[in-house]
Amino acid sequence: MHNGRAQEIGLGGYAANAKEPDELTLAKAPVEAAHVWAEVKGGRNIVSERKAAKTGRIEANRQTLEKLAWEVHKHRSSRRNRKGFALTEKTHALWPARLESPVFKVIGTEPVAQIDVKAIRRVVHRLWHDKPEPARKIPYP
């Protein structure tokens, strides 16, 4: 019960042949249940914490490469280089411009969580064969 409402929580899937130490077996289930029960008695709302964590993962999956690149660009505008000088306006403007055409058009709208080696290869392969000089100048944070 939490705030007068009954809530149920699962301990996890049953693993008959548990090979990992964190997998749930019949022997570990009562111990895990006692642990969860003690935390609930202590006032912790595990159900809402799990929902919040799941919502956070869903939000992270919605972050696209383009959106995050612009956030990095905004952060870089206040950053200084190794010698302590601020980035020039020209450098500040070139950084996203070099990403827009080759990278954002190919994988910019994909969620960051789904970008893998194959997606990176699509970008790099297209660039190195079509425009090797701009490919060399693609910035990295």
> Does 83 map to a domain?
yes
**Greater model confidence, 139 or 118:** 118
The total number of structural domains that make up the chain: 2
Write out pLDDT tens, residues 12-31: 777 766 677 677 888 888 88
Task: List, in order, residues 6 or more apart from 33 with CB less than 8 Å away.
Answer: 11
The pLDDT value recorded for residue 141 is: 47
**91 and 113 within one domain:** yes
**1 and 50 within one domain:** yes
Q: How far apart are CA 16 and CA 99, in angstroms?
A: 49
Write out pLDDT tens, residues 51-110: 877 777 666 667 888 888 888 877 776 666 666 666 677 777 777 777 777 788 888 888
Q: How far apart are CA 86 and CA 97, in angstroms?
A: 19
The pLDDT value recorded for residue 82 is: 67
**72 and 129 within one domain:** yes
Kindly indicate the confidence band of residue 6, based on its pLDDT and cuts at 50, 70 and 90.
confident
> Does 141 map to a domain?
no
Contact 65, 110 (CB under 8 A): yes
Interaxial angle between packed helices 89-99 and 65-76, expressed in degrees from 0 to 180 and rounded to the nearest 10? 170
- Tell me the pTM: 0.45
Domain at 67, CATH number: 1.10.150.130
The pLDDT value recorded for residue 13 is: 75
**85 and 117 within one domain:** yes
**15 and 79 within one domain:** no
Residue-number span of the structural domain to which 111 is assigned:
63-136
**118 and 75 within one domain:** yes
Q: Which of 42, 62, 82 is the last residue of a domain?
A: 62
Q: How far apart are CA 47 and CA 72, in angstroms?
A: 34
> Does 45 map to a domain?
yes
Write out pLDDT tens, residues 37-55: 888 888 888 887 888 777 7
**73 and 46 within one domain:** no
